[in-house]
Chain A
Amino acid sequence: MTSQIPRLRMTGVKKRFGATVALAGVDLTVAPGEVLALVGENGAGKSTLMKVLSGAHKPDEGQMWLDGEPYAPAHPLEARRRGVAMIYQELALAPHLSVTENILLGLEPTFGPILRKSEMRRRAADALAQLGRPDISPDAIVSDLSIARRQLVEIARAVAVGCRVLVLDEPTSSLAQSDIVHLFNLVRRLKSGGLATIYISHFLDEVKEISDRFTVLRDGRSVGEGESATAPVKKIIALMVGRDVEDLYPRGERKAGEAVLDISHLAGQSKPSDASLTLHRGEVLGIAGLVGAGRTELLRCIFGLDPVRRGKIRVELFEGPATPAARWRQGAGMISEDRKTEGLALGLSIADNLTMTKMRRLVNPRRQRAESRRWISRLGIRCRNPGQPVGDLSGGNQQKVAIARLLHHDVDVLLLDEPTRGIDVGSKAQIYQVIDELAQSGKAVLMVSSYLPELLGVCDRIAVMYKGVLGSAAAVADTNEHQIMFQATGATETV
């Protein structure tokens, strides 16, 4: 295989967004008839890399070749024309149209202005037959199909345009076990037909099963590769997490006190399916896990944003589920992982965002501004004045406003969902400082993060969530990144 021209080759691909380096130099090759697994932690740069490959982003530096010819797609359509097809986690199908119409969307054969319906149907049936799935009717309406079948329709669409590189982004995240077996069979079938496949996944057992080789991405860089079948899982994980723990994490004198949050066998609508934990005053408890493991949903259930199906919750003295309004009154507050669509009202002022949870019946704007100024100076929020819309601020400063809301309300229990996502290092350090001070003053913090060094640096105990189930919490001293990644990826091999 080495003598062949690679189907796709990328060298030194770099991409920067403002001050953030998303890709710091990625090298990658896939041969025809090969399945390459692309692995890396959340935020390692996988999605940016895929966007570069699909023409959605232009790389700042680096080169790409497709079958030995330079490949620099200016837009996604060109990438499709050159035969690079992406199957995203969120499927991109028109649900009201038929399977045929979806497969040939944008490529409909016509006679003058008139669609050649029978030709369309034939081509769609061909594509489905190529996938070994003639059982899917070309006339079915997509919204009537299961998720697994919709995914097949999307793959058929890629095959119908004669794709040369197929990229599957976390294709099993919403599939049942039996569908995964079918998908793997299909990938093997396409592979024997000479297709090059890039398979992105968190699940290392899948990676070992389906891929020939793997490339590890970390901090926007390709840091290693190898043969999937022979490489020990331990080695892959070491490549994924191996980075320096910066000296960012202050840790003062913390004394664990009484339990202020107690949940047992909590289950939400779909996730979490079983979560139990106890959080004490003066303690920071971290929840690790992969995207989609159900960590966010756990916090939302506790805070009353998502419905609780069963299980017990106790916040301070209050038993049972409650609305967010009640939670604030009980002395609990939450930071949303999604700052823009939920965490903050971007069009409203800093003062309104900061004091929204704790407004009196009559609002005194002068006092509201004075209180806001106190937090602005305390947290070093960079802004013109408290009346400025939050949307004008940088990400780090926005997040500080979200945290200041909890501080202003003076809550005892803090639920923090990805509190440092997408913000600069300076703001991160400041937020870690605040969290430590809160723990020292006897507040209880429950924190979800996808960034393991951060959890290990900030927390006293860490529990790992895998597919909706929360494991038992371990003291930070008794665990490490490797062990957490093992639990988070559901790897069966022991350390």
Chain B
Amino acid sequence: MQQSPPLEQPGSPRWRISFGWLNQIGPVLGLLAIFALFAFLRPKTFLRVDNLQIMLLQTTVYATAALGATVIIISGGIDLSVGSNIAMCTVVIAKLLLMNVSPAMSALVGIGASMACGLAIGLLVTLLDLSPFIVTLGMWGAIRGAAKWIADETDVDAPRTWINSLMHQLRPDQQWMIFPVGVWLMFVLTLLVSAILHYTRFGRHVFAIGSNEQTARLCGVRVKPTKLGIYLFAGFFAGVAGVLHFSRLTIGDATSANGYELNIIAAVVIGGTSLIGGQGGVFGTLVGALIMTVVANGCTKVGLSNSLQEIVTGGIIILAVALDRFRHWRRA
């Protein structure tokens, strides 16, 4: 029956430190490794400047919407309706352009419509105390339906405007810009959101709510208004992503951006933001979105079939979530 007292676990602090460091740098290392792999396998095609630009352009729509999704996920929520929201935004913009509204106004109204969707989600989550998963699952269908209704169930052809140049590959005389305007916009917004998360009360409250909502309430955080703000905020980024998506599509397409919500959540999670909430950041999300694009692009260049690509992408998502679980399991 006699038992000796439990022994000290040797070496545990060292583990902790090395892993904490890996958490931060892990996604970047992953991106570099994947990038190096494809660069090695297909140096001629994968590394071409125009291919790199295409990859950045492909990342931009996801990454921009994922900025908002990151904030939602840090707060412990989720948004499954963001793909529908992006599609609806393209339809609104195209319709307005057809009505001879100025491009700037059309884009702003499009973003406003997306923010209205975010507001609706926020109101449902806070006033009715529903789980964001259920609310946004419903909105996933409802917004898509609204988009189709606005578009009269067809593609909306819009006149070409400067909006379309946001996301088009640079002409030779524009090479001084290095990236198209949309890509720059994504970088600037990433910096902005990171600053908001770390240097504003709103941002710190987002972390507090995600880490422990009860504590936030005890500490006088106005949880419901803050949540409302979070979904409104994410709606803005869905709207900007919608503008950028429209720029690439050149039409309003209510059936586009299908399944984007899952790629966006995957980018957030691969980037190290915890699905449980309370920790994460947008630089990781940007890296996560790049990983998704590089894998897809690289697989094509290597000549993997579409079906195989999807399997690889799925595997990477599961791997990332498993790593997330592993991190939390160690914490507990």
Contacts and interface: CB of A to CB of B under 8 A. Distances in A.
A188 interface: no
B207 interface: yes
A193 interface: no
Interface string B1-42: 111011000000000000000000000000000000000000
B171 interface: no
Given A63-B1, A347-B211, A363-B199, A324 B219 contact: yes
A343 B1 contact: no
User: Which of B2, B199, B215, B218 has the most A CB atoms < 10 Å from its CB?
Assistant: B218
Contacts of A352: 204, 207-208
A297 B200 CA distance: 33
B166 to A, nearest CB: 31
Contacts of B331: 347, 391
Contact of B204 (A323, A326, A359): A359
Interface string B188-205: 000000000011110111
Contacts of A380: none
B214 interface: yes
A361 B204 CA distance: 10
A356 interface: yes
A361 B196 CA distance: 10
A344 interface: yes
B208 A348 contact: yes
Nearest to A352: B204
A344 B204 contact: no
Interface in B285-332: 331
B172 interface: no
A197 to B, nearest CB: 26
B200 A356 contact: no
Contacts of B215: 336, 342-345, 353, 356
Contacts of B6: 18
A328 interface: yes
Interface residues of B, number: 28
Nearest to A17: B6
Interface in A327-342: 327-329, 334, 336, 341-342
Contacts of B116: none
B193 to A, nearest CB: 15
A365 B201 contact: no
A328 B198 contact: no
Contacts of B221: 325, 356
Given A61-B1, A61-B2, A347-B278, A324 B208 contact: no
A286 interface: no
A63 B1 CA distance: 8
A325 B211 contact: no
A356 B278 contact: no
A58 interface: yes
Contact of B200 (A16, A328, A357, A362): A362
A139 interface: no
A341 B216 CA distance: 11
A232 interface: no
User: Which of B6, B203, B207, B212 has the most A CB atoms < 10 Å from its CB?
Assistant: B212
A365 B212 contact: no
Interface in A175-216: none
Contacts of A60: 2-3, 5
B218 A324 contact: yes
Nearest to A368: B204
B211 A58 contact: no
Contact of B278 (A58, A324, A328, A345): A345
Nearest to A13: B1
Given A328-B220, A352-B208, A405-B219, A360 B201 contact: yes
B48 interface: no
A324 B220 contact: yes
B160 interface: no
A9 B28 CA distance: 61
Given A324-B217, A328-B219, A342 B212 contact: yes
B279 interface: yes
Given A305-B217, A324-B220, A361-B201, A348 B3 contact: no
A72 interface: yes
Contact of B201 (A305, A334, A359): A359
B170 to A, nearest CB: 37
A138 interface: no
Nearest to A351: B204
Nearest to B202: A361
Contacts of A324: 217-220
A363 B204 contact: yes
Contacts of A391: 331
A62 interface: yes
A364 interface: yes
A40 B217 CA distance: 34
Nearest to A340: B212
Interface string A244-262: 0000000000000000000
Interface string B268-296: 00000000001100000000000000000
25 contacts: A60-B5, A61-B1, A63-B1, A325-B220, A343-B215, A343-B218, A344-B215, A345-B208, A345-B211, A345-B215, A346-B211, A347-B279, A352-B207, A356-B208, A356-B219, A359-B201, A359-B204, A360-B201, A361-B200, A363-B198, A363-B200, A363-B204, A365-B199, A391-B331, A405-B219
Given A341-B212, A352-B207, A356-B221, 19 more contacts: A58-B3, A324-B217, A324-B220, A342-B214, A343-B215, A343-B218, A345-B207, A345-B215, A345-B278, A346-B211, A347-B279, A348-B207, A348-B208, A356-B215, A357-B219, A357-B220, A361-B200, A391-B331, A405-B219
Interface of B: 1-3, 5-6, 198-201, 203-205, 207-208, 211-212, 214-222, 278-279, 331
Interface of A: 16, 18, 58-63, 72, 303, 305, 323-329, 334, 336, 341-348, 352-353, 356-357, 359-365, 391, 405
Cβ-closest 10 pairs across A and B? A345-B211, A325-B220, A345-B212, A328-B220, A342-B214, A356-B219, A359-B201, A347-B278, A347-B211, A345-B215
